[in-house]
Every structure is written in C-alpha cells, then in structure tokens.
Amino acid sequence: MDRETDVVIVGTGAAGLFGALQLPESTKITVITKDAAENSDSFLAQGGICMLRSEEDYGPYYEDTMKAGHYRNNPQSVEMMIRSSRQIIDLLIGYGVEFERQDGELAFTREGGHSRPRILFHEDITGKEITGKLLNQVRKRSNITIYEHTEMIDILCQDNICHGVVVVDSHGNVEPLYARDTIFACGGIGGLYRHSTNFSHLTGDGIAIALRHQIALKDVNFVQIHPTTLYSKKPGRSFLISESVRGEGALLYNARMERFVDELLPRDVVTHAIEEQMEKDGRPYVWLSMEKIAREDILGHFPNIYQRCLEEGYDVTKECIPVVPGQHYFMGGIQSDLDGRTSMERLYAVGETSCNGVHGANRLASNSLLESLVFARRAALDIAAASRQKLPGERVRFEPEKYTDRKTMQQENRKMVLQEIERMKKAYEQQHNHDVKCG
C-alpha cells in the first residue's frame, strides 16, 4: 500500500464511493474498507431514495422530515438535502442507476411518515442498485484505489489537524497512511447491538476515534430502532421488512389478529406501539400481514423480501410473518457542517457516521441514502475548492507501539461509544424533563 495519498476515504458505502467520484480526477484517492467492498449497509437499503418531485411538494417534504425528527433537525441541512435531491438523482442516473418507471416516467412509492409518494426505488434492492453502480464507476477510475479488508484504527493528527489514518492492512500490518484530506464515511453503529439490521462490522469506529481525539460529536443519543425486522431465533443480522411494505398496505396485528396502530406513523411511534403490544401479548413479536397487497405487486416490488421470508418458512402472499423492532440507524455522529467539515481541520465526516442535524431525533424513511450522497458531494467539492498543499508526512510521528494490544483497544472503543450514547441519553432526558417542568 502506498503510504501517501491526496485524499483518504474510510468506507465503501454510498457516502464514500459517491464522495470519491465527486473529487477531481487529478486527485489521488485511496478508499479503504474494513471488509469486502460490497459489505456496507448502503448495499442493504431496500425501500428507496427520496426526491423532491415538484416545488409543490417542497413544503410537505420539509414538514414530514422535521416532524419525523421531532423538530430537532437543523433546518439548513434539511433544506440543503431536499433542494439538492433532483441533482443527485440525475447524477445517479448518469452513473447508470435504474429506478422503477411507469410509462417511461420515474415511479414513486410511499413509506411511513411520508404524506405523499416521493420515493424512487429499484424493486426492493435500491441500495444494491445504487451502490453497486457507484462501485463499478469507482473501479473504472484510475485515480482511485480501493483497499479491502483494511481497517482504520486511528488517525494521524497534531495540533487539531488531521494528517491521515492508521490502518491494519489485509496482511495484518499496522501502517500509517498520510493524506492531505481525510473523509470518514464509515457508517453506523449496529455492530454494537445484539439485534440490528446493520452489518456487524459497523461498530462506530469513527465515533470511538473522535472520542479519543476530542473531535466534537452531536446527538449521539438519537439511535433509531426499526419497527419491523423479521423475527427469527437464528443468530446474526436481523432481516429488515421495509417500511414501503406498510406504505403499500401491509397491516400489523396483535396476538388476537386485531390492528393496534396506524402503520404509517413515523418509525419511533410504530416501534413504541409494537413494544407495548408485545408486552401485552407476552410474545417476542407481532404479526405483519401483506394480504392487502396483490400477489403480483408483492412479487414485482418486493421479490427480495418474498424470497427471504420463504427461506424462513413464510409465504408472505398467503400468511402473516412475525416481526420485532431492531436497531437500525444512527441519527447522531461526528458533528459536521453543511460541507462535512468536522471540528478537526482537514477531517471530514459524511453519511451515517456524521451528524449535521438533518435527521433530528428520528430519520424519515429513505432520507439517509439521499443525505449520504448530498453531503458527500459537498465535502468533495469543498476539498476540491480548497486546493490545499499536502502537509509533509513526517511532521506527525507514527507510533506503532500504541497499537500492539488491538483487542483491548477494540473492546474499549465499543464500551466508550455505548457509554457516551447512554450518557447523552440521560442528559437529554434530564433536559427534556426540565423543559417540560418549566413549561
């Protein structure tokens, strides 16, 4: 591995790959990922990606996003995301991404929390379609090199300036990788939880490194639980039953086969209702029925869900499936501005690892792929515009002896992130109770 690059990007999800493609082709870019390039949550996205269809929908889309986020969102971030959406979709289509169409026009679906259909999709594998096509594009670029099974374990920094990252390469060697600019696009924290829809190697490593180096974090108490994952006694990643299934008419039933909640309410509200119902029923799941959706629509729109449920022994065209809430998304993260800049110079954070407040306390369905792409592009444009000089690598001393006991370091990192989430949750609750008391 070359130890010097212009920009190092940590992560091969939608944010990392799209960011790499938005940087000038004259920039030497090194993209690293802890696992295989395809193993990112971006590949798992089922439901779709939002787009502002017309000026008439700006107000409703903005309001839906703010309402889902409990109005804790940063209004500038929300506006930026929505206003940029058409351009992002055009860029994706330019990279060969195919979305469902009706009579040649883009087709839109709806999910929980959306007052109108504004979600583009590709069957129920939208993330694979988008991220797979981005990966193909990246692989064609001679200025971008991807290193798989290469893990960032620290950053190189001095005087609050980032000079690159420390990695464990695919042979197990600890190496410095000096870079003029560094982008964290290292995803969520699901790997820290027992039940999660995320890949288990996504363990909030960027957050842990930020904590170790006093890089500002934001809203880390906001962790989203998805209301409907397929209940299974088998260990491993929980399989998500996309919200768009409920958007298309699927219903939730309790043990007596009665409905107990409006299925199209925001995620946290539906999750809460399911948890209460499971408690009442004394069961670890509730039922989800797709009987209101025509068989051909299930097979056409949700072939992946149909197939996966079949493998678990359920034919969703004929019977209900058991579902249970599971950790799904991290709204908080490394504090970033609208250009992805963090509190450390030359360090950017984009995608799920970052937080510019766009999601507030709870993400609206299908806003996260869009958010990842919008702000990854802005970070790339900011880096390109800055046209900074490379810092001499030897200015920062690389101390390999710090990384001899990596197992302990990893355990400490996990503990540190979860403790910070709990600490911030308590602080938030106290503040909330105080605000309520004081009217």
> How far apart are CB 187 and ligand FAD at their closest, in Å?
3
Judged by beta carbon, residue 37 or residue 290, the one nearer ligand FAD is: 37
**Residues of this chain, 371-400, that bind ligand FAD according to CB under 6 A:** 372
User: Which lies closer to ligand FAD via its Cβ, residue 330 or residue 398?
Assistant: 330
Question: Residues 424, 427, 432, 433: is their CA dihedral positive or negative?
Answer: positive
> Based on CB atoms, which residue is closest to ligand FAD, 227 or 351?
351
Q: Which is nearer to ligand FAD, 406 or 432 (CB)?
A: 406
- Identify which of residues 202 and 286 has a Cβ nearer to ligand FAD in the complex: 202
- Which residue in 368, 378, 379, 380 binds ligand FAD (CB under 6 A)? 368
Interacting residue with ligand FAD among 4, 35, 281, 382 (CB under 6 A): 35
52 binds ligand FAD (CB under 6 A): no
Out of 74, 84, 85, 126, the residue judged to bind ligand FAD by CB under 6 A: 126
**Closest CB to ligand FAD among 375 and 398?**
375
Query: How do 4-10 and 174-184 pair as beta strands?
Result: parallel
Can you tell me whether residue 382 is helix, strand or coil?
helix
**Rounded distance, CA 71 to CA 2, Å?**
45
Question: Which one of 366, 379, 380, 420 is in contact with ligand FAD (CB under 6 A)?
Answer: 366
At 394, which amino acid appears? E
Q: How many CB atoms lie within 10 A of CB 299?
A: 14
Residue 212 annotated among the catalytic residues of the structure: no
Judged by CB under 6 A, the residue of 20, 23, 45, 383 near ligand FAD is 45
**How many degrees, rounded to 5, is the angle at CA 261 between CA 290 and CA 61?**
85
Q: Would you put residue 257 in left (φ > 0), alpha (ψ -120 to 50) or beta?
A: left
Identify the residue among 8, 32, 80, 421 touching ligand FAD (CB under 6 A). Answer: 32
16 near ligand FAD, rule: CB under 6 A: yes
Angle at 64 between CA 276 and CA 272, to 5 degrees: 5
DSSP 75-98: HHHHHHHHHHHHHHHHHHHHTT--
Contact 70, 360 (CB under 8 A): yes
Q: In what order do the strands lie in the sheet with 286-289?
A: 223-230, 321-330, 286-289, 251-253
Pick one of 127, 132, 266, 333: the residue that binds ligand FAD (CB under 6 A): 127
Applying CB under 6 A, what is the total number of residues that bind ligand FAD? Answer: 42
Residue 11 engages ligand FAD in binding (rule: CB under 6 A)? yes
Kind plus residue range of the DSSP H or E element containing 175: strand 174-184
- Regarding 84 and contact with ligand FAD (CB under 6 A), the answer is no
Which residues from 206-265 bind ligand FAD, rule CB under 6 A? Answer: 240
Ordered alpha helix ranges (H), 38-175 = 41-44, 58-68, 75-94, 126-140
Catalytic residue numbers? 267
- Residues engaged in binding ligand FAD (CB under 6 A): 10-16, 32-35, 40-42, 44-49, 126-127, 151-152, 185-188, 197-198, 201-202, 205, 240, 329, 351-352, 366-369, 372
